Structure 1
Amino acid sequence: MYKAGAERLTQHVKKVDALNVFPVPDGDTGTNMNLTFTSGVTELEKSQEKTVEKISAIFSRGLLMGARGNSGVILSQLFRGFAKGLSGVSEADSYRLAEAFQQGVEMAYKAVMKPVEGTILTVAREAAAAARKAARSCSVEDVIETLVEAARQALANTPNQLPVLKEVGVVDSGGQGLVYIYEGFLSAVKADVTFDKPEMEAESVVAGGTSLFGEAHEEMHHVIDQTNIQYGYCTEFMVHLKPDTPFLQQEFQERIGSYGDSLLVVADDDLVKVHIHAEEPGDVLSFAHRYGALDRIKIENMRLQHEEVLRRQETKQIAQAQKPDDDLERVSASSEPKKASKLYAIISVASGKGIAKIFRSLGVQIIIEGGQTMNPSTEQFMHAIEEADAERVIILPNNKNIVMAAQQAADLAGVQVAVIPSTSIPQGMSSLLAFSADEQLETNRERMSEALGYVKTGLVTYAVRDTTLNEIVIKEGDFIGIFDSNIVVSGRDPYETALRLITEMVGEEDELITLIYGTDVKGEDMKELEKRLASLYDAYEVEVHDGGQSLYPFIIAVE
């Protein structure tokens, strides 16, 4: 089933990638899901295990380490829960299989701080519910067939649940990718099943999309509205339970929940993980300490992090993903780490030789090649952390779709790691200016996160299809200007589009305009653009750099 699911998804990666609300050439949901899922198959091929329990555990571990992008991380959580549902099972009947799908849904929902309906989560949930109902009287084959049909129906309904999908006339691509996986499962258990019939393809492919950008995408990552923050400190920690102290999870949740909101409690035999937004985090820790020793404490002042965002009332930031379970942490941290050779190291994700050079000049030691269309995996971040050889590591993802994988690696690491939730190259650069090697990691985390709000990001890229979005009519091949995740201008010329975008971005209080140009920009045209910038914005400081990036002719920062 796992291998057939991976093969089915691989066959349709480009279709899933192309299904994007934004008409930009970097929709990579299919790529991320495929790389994540095939990493699980790669682990299976190294093993000779035959039981359902062992195979699923190995597959889950492979997904975790290979998880790329938000869609990949969510997929890894879905099948981690599925594996836990098959714990202790050599062979699975209809009932146990259906229950495992349900456990996968529950774990995937927990991995997202603020789940949004009309996404892969919805498709997984409704499919699992139908499978559980069918399991009462059906065979394994019929349960999987029911799972597929329910997933298709849920996928078709996603535009009715997310307005942005309905506006563009598409369905969610993460859900589409999951449908392909489930169809692969069905082909593995029913030999006579084929997927070559046009009507079957039409059901799941004709209208497909994703909420990778814009408001719907941000909501998937627990956006914090600064005007509504009642509990200002994002608090996460683990409790190593005392052997002689009774622990009742429901009672613990109810009592600790009185200190704040956004509560998530995950309990194992001897370990409890807690995430909560609280106004008095010290009180939360004091309460939890009654149950055992505290570990991996992380407290973030959300008000400080977003002070500049609140002032502008435009930018939204994302919070951290749920920490993975302790069994996989123990796998990662089973060996005693050697003593680090330095105090600090900074890891940054970047694409383009020029951009990498800029980051190095600002103090970054390790560059992970990546960005849109190339989302690094959890394992790549783990290798980079190990290579850093430092007591304290700071990671700059510089892309919304990479933050979850970076955080997952941070949670698995054996050293102190802070993930700064930078979602663009300009944000990453801005945050580096707030770093101080003389400060504690938590102080740097707060200051660097706060600095994310000091810069505005603009992107110029090209449209890969006709569409109308935000009342802007866009034709395939047009250049589009994106400001804070919204398309604000479009045109046939990239240089004119860049100038119009800068006009939308610059405000009275701004002082600096930075233009980073990519590989497709021509020398003479670029010189002319520089002259026009100098003339139009003579009261501003203007900097121009050769970034060497692909896909985006221009990346613009305004401060």
Structure 2
Amino acid sequence: MYKAGAERLTQHVKKVDALNVFPVPDGDTGTNMNLTFTSGAAELDKSPETTVEKISAIFSRGLLMGARGNSGVILSQLFRGFAKGLSGVSEADSYRLAEAFQQGVDMAYKAVMKPVEGTILTVAREAAAAARKAARSGSVEGVIEMLVEAARQALANTPNQLPVLKEVGVVDSGGQGLVYIYEGFLSAVKAGVTFDEPEMESGPVVVGESSLFGEAHVEMHHVIDQMDIQYGYCTEFMVHLKPDTPFLQQEFQERIGSYGDSLLVVADDDLVKVHIHAEEPGDVLSFAHRYGALDRIKIENMRLQHEDVLRRQKTKQMDWTPEQGDEHEMASVPSRSKKANKPYAIIAVASGEGIAEIFRSLGVQTIIEGGQTMNPSTEQFVHAIEETDAERVIILPNNKNIVMAAQQAADLADVQVTVIPSTSIPQGMSSLLAFSADERMETNRDRMSEALGYVKTGLVTYAVRDTTLNELVIKEGDFIGIFDGDIVTSGQNPYETARLLITEMVGEEDELITLIYGTDVEDEDMEKLKKQLKSSYGAYEVEVHNGGQPLYSFIIAVE
């Protein structure tokens, strides 16, 4: 079943990849799901195991390490729960199989802070519910048949659940990828099964990944009136559960939740991570200690942090100015050493040698090649963390579709790792300017996360198909300007589009415009554009760098 599911998904990768609301050449949901799923199948080839329990555990581990992008991480969680549902058995009947699908859904939902209907999660949930009803027949084949039928129906309904899908008139691509996997399962248990291939003129489409996950849980302390801070201590720790102490997550959450708010509890087999805002953190720790040994305890006074945030927002002082940036010669970039025994290391994801050099000049030790269409796997992050040999590691994903894989690697690491949820190259660079090697990890995390909001991001790329979006009529081959995730303009060439995009981005309080140009931009044309911008925006600093990135003619930062 696993191998047949992987094969069917592989056959349809390009269809799923092409199904993106944004007509940009980076729709990689299918690629991410395929690389994730086939990594699990590859692990099976290395093992002689034959029981349902062992095979599923091996497959799940392969998915976990190979997970790429948000869609891949969700897929890995679905089949992590599925494997747990098959724990302890060598063979699975219809009831056990159906319950395993439900456990997969439960685990995947736990991985998402704010689930949204009309996504892969909806398709998985509806399919699992149908599989449980079908289990009464006692037929494994019947369970999978109903799983596939319900998944298809749920997929067809996704445009009615997500307005952006209905606007374009198509379905969710993550859900479509899961349907292909389930169809592969059916082909493995039912001889001679065939599938009607849907007509896809514009194809099923995936909503932007950010809307799937809502606002990620970022441990930043909002600037509010101090009198409004009812629970003043941000308390975070891990509990290594005692083997002989029963742990019920729901009961634990309810009881510990009485000590404060902003509660987050993530539990695994023998480990629980807790984040809570409490007024008496000692009471929280005493309660949690009943369940096991405490580790990685962090307590911060949010009222004092609030004062610091206000002071820094008022002064908004940074250690770097555009003039200083010109003095950073590439020859001064620190060399990377695999074994340096250093207190800090920073890992950043980037595509383009020029961008990589900029990151290194700002203090990044390790660059992972990746970005749009090239989402690094969890395993790549794990290896990069191990190679740093640092006590504390900071990761800058620089892409919304990479954040979850980075966080998953952080959870697997043996050292202290913080993922700064940067979703663009400009955000990553802005975040680095707030880093200080003399500060604690918690302080760097908060300051670097806060710095993400100091910069606006613009992207210029080309349309891969005709579409109408945000009242813009876009033809295949047109250049499009994207401002903080929304298409706001289009043009016949990248330079005209960049000028229009900058007009949308620049505000009265901004001071600096930075253009990072890609492989399709000639130096001579870039100089002309730079002169035009300096003429039009005389009151602003205009910086230009050769990023060497593919797909995007320009990456623009406005600060």
Q: Same fold (TM over 0.5)?
A: yes
Please point out which of 207, 211, 217 is paired with 1:216.
211
CA deviations on 1:320-350 (whole Å, 9 max, x unpaired) are: xxxxxxxxxxxxxxxxxx9961111111000
* CA deviation after TM superposition for structure 1 residue 248, in Å: 4.9
* CA deviation after TM superposition for structure 1 residue 66, in Å: 0.3
Tell me the distance in 2 between the aligned counterparts of 1:70 and 1:148.
23
Cross-structure match for 1:324: none
Cross-structure match for 2:548: 548
Structure-2 change in CA distance of 1:192 and 1:469 (3 Å): same
* CA deviation after TM superposition for structure 1 residue 284, in Å: 3.5
Contact 2:126/2:150 (<8 A) preserved: yes
Cross-structure match for 2:406: 406
CA deviations on 1:238-279 (whole Å, 9 max, x unpaired) are: 2123567665544322111222245435263x5434355667
Cross-structure match for 1:317: none
Tell me the distance in 2 between the aligned counterparts of 1:55 and 1:241.
27
User: Is the counterpart of residue 511 in structure 1 residue 511 in structure 2?
Assistant: yes
Cross-structure match for 1:363: 363
Cross-structure match for 1:84: 84
Letter in 1 for 2:197: E
Tell me the distance in 2 between the aligned counterparts of 1:205 and 1:96.
39
Cross-structure match for 2:101: 101
Contact 1:533/1:542 (<8 A) preserved: yes
Letter in 2 for 1:439: E
User: Is the counterpart of residue 202 in structure 1 residue 201 in structure 2?
Assistant: no
Contact 1:249/1:267 (<8 A) preserved: no
Tell me the distance in 2 between the aligned counterparts of 1:431 and 1:416.
19
Tell me the distance in 1 between the aligned counterparts of 2:276 and 2:206.
29
| Aligned-partner SS, 2:90 | coil
* CA deviation after TM superposition for structure 1 residue 2, in Å: 0.3
CA deviations on 1:485-539 (whole Å, 9 max, x unpaired) are: 1111111121011011111111111111100000001232212101101101111
Tell me the distance in 1 between the aligned counterparts of 2:179 and 2:233.
38
Tell me the distance in 1 between the aligned counterparts of 2:167 and 2:348.
35
Letter in 2 for 1:403: V
Q: TM-score, normalised by structure 2?
A: 0.88
* CA deviation after TM superposition for structure 1 residue 299, in Å: 6.8
Tell me the distance in 1 between the aligned counterparts of 2:436 and 2:461.
34
User: Is the counterpart of residue 264 in structure 1 residue 260 in structure 2?
Assistant: no
Contact 2:339/2:388 (<8 A) preserved: no
Structure-2 change in CA distance of 1:417 and 1:265 (3 Å): closer
Structure-2 change in CA distance of 1:244 and 1:10 (3 Å): closer
Contact 1:305/1:451 (<8 A) preserved: no
Letter in 1 for 2:436: S
| Aligned-partner SS, 2:136 | coil
In the TM superposition, 1:104-183 aligns within 5 A as 104-183=104-183
CA deviations on 1:159-202 (whole Å, 9 max, x unpaired) are: 1111111111121111000000000000000111022xxxx211
Structure-2 change in CA distance of 1:137 and 1:423 (3 Å): same
Tell me the distance in 2 between the aligned counterparts of 1:260 and 1:397.
29
Cross-structure match for 2:491: 491
In the TM superposition, 1:8-407 aligns within 5 A as 8-195=8-195, 200-202=196-198, 207-212=203-208, 216-217=211-212, 219=214, 221=216, 236-242=236-242, 247-258=247-258, 259-261=260-262, 263-266=264-267, 268=269, 270-276=270-276, 284-297=284-297, 341-407=341-407
Letter in 2 for 1:216: S
Cross-structure match for 2:326: none
Structure-2 change in CA distance of 1:86 and 1:248 (3 Å): closer
Tell me the distance in 2 between the aligned counterparts of 1:458 and 1:186.
44
Contact 1:307/1:450 (<8 A) preserved: no
| Aligned-partner SS, 1:527 | helix
Structure-2 change in CA distance of 1:74 and 1:267 (3 Å): closer
Tell me the distance in 2 between the aligned counterparts of 1:524 and 1:83.
57
CA deviations on 1:130-159 (whole Å, 9 max, x unpaired) are: 000000114111110110010000001011
* CA deviation after TM superposition for structure 1 residue 71, in Å: 0.4
* CA deviation after TM superposition for structure 1 residue 423, in Å: 0.5
In the TM superposition, 1:509-548 aligns within 5 A as 509-548=509-548
User: Is the counterpart of residue 446 in structure 1 residue 446 in structure 2?
Assistant: yes
Structure 1 residue runs of 5 or longer lacking an equivalent are 312-337
Tell me the distance in 1 between the aligned counterparts of 2:223 and 2:153.
37
Tell me the distance in 2 between the aligned counterparts of 1:305 and 1:127.
50
| Aligned-partner SS, 2:489 | strand
| Aligned-partner SS, 1:74 | helix
Letter in 1 for 2:504: E
Cross-structure match for 2:324: none
Structure-2 change in CA distance of 1:282 and 1:451 (3 Å): farther
Which deviates more, 84-93 or 250-259? 250-259
Letter in 2 for 1:219: G
Letter in 1 for 2:211: A
CA deviations on 1:370-391 (whole Å, 9 max, x unpaired) are: 0010000000001111111111
Q: TM-score, normalised by structure 1?
A: 0.88
Tell me the distance in 2 between the aligned counterparts of 1:52 and 1:136.
21
| Aligned-partner SS, 1:87 | coil
Tell me the distance in 1 between the aligned counterparts of 2:369 and 2:50.
37
Contact 1:306/1:450 (<8 A) preserved: no
Tell me the distance in 2 between the aligned counterparts of 1:9 and 1:463.
25
Tell me the distance in 2 between the aligned counterparts of 1:227 and 1:240.
34
How many residues align? The count is: 525
Contact 1:77/1:104 (<8 A) preserved: yes
Letter in 1 for 2:372: Q
Letter in 2 for 1:212: G
Which deviates more, 344-353 or 438-447? 438-447
User: Is the counterpart of residue 456 in structure 1 residue 456 in structure 2?
Assistant: yes
Letter in 2 for 1:523: D
Tell me the distance in 1 between the aligned counterparts of 2:504 and 2:3.
49
| Aligned-partner SS, 1:407 | helix
Tell me the distance in 1 between the aligned counterparts of 2:197 and 2:221.
40
Structure-2 change in CA distance of 1:232 and 1:192 (3 Å): farther
Tell me the distance in 2 between the aligned counterparts of 1:535 and 1:181.
55
Tell me the distance in 1 between the aligned counterparts of 2:436 and 2:165.
43
Contact 1:162/1:216 (<8 A) preserved: no
| Aligned-partner SS, 1:525 | helix
Tell me the distance in 2 between the aligned counterparts of 1:290 and 1:141.
46
* CA deviation after TM superposition for structure 1 residue 90, in Å: 0.4
Structure-2 change in CA distance of 1:234 and 1:519 (3 Å): farther
The CA RMSD over aligned residues, in Å, is 2.8
Cross-structure match for 2:327: none
Tell me the distance in 2 between the aligned counterparts of 1:225 and 1:294.
24
| Aligned-partner SS, 1:26 | coil
Contact 1:236/1:299 (<8 A) preserved: yes
Structure-2 change in CA distance of 1:543 and 1:340 (3 Å): closer
Letter in 2 for 1:295: D
Letter in 1 for 2:377: S
Contact 1:156/1:204 (<8 A) preserved: no
| Aligned-partner SS, 1:188 | helix
| Aligned-partner SS, 1:347 | strand
* CA deviation after TM superposition for structure 1 residue 216, in Å: 2.1
Tell me the distance in 2 between the aligned counterparts of 1:13 and 1:142.
27
Cross-structure match for 1:328: none
Structure 2 residue runs of 5 or longer lacking an equivalent are 314-337
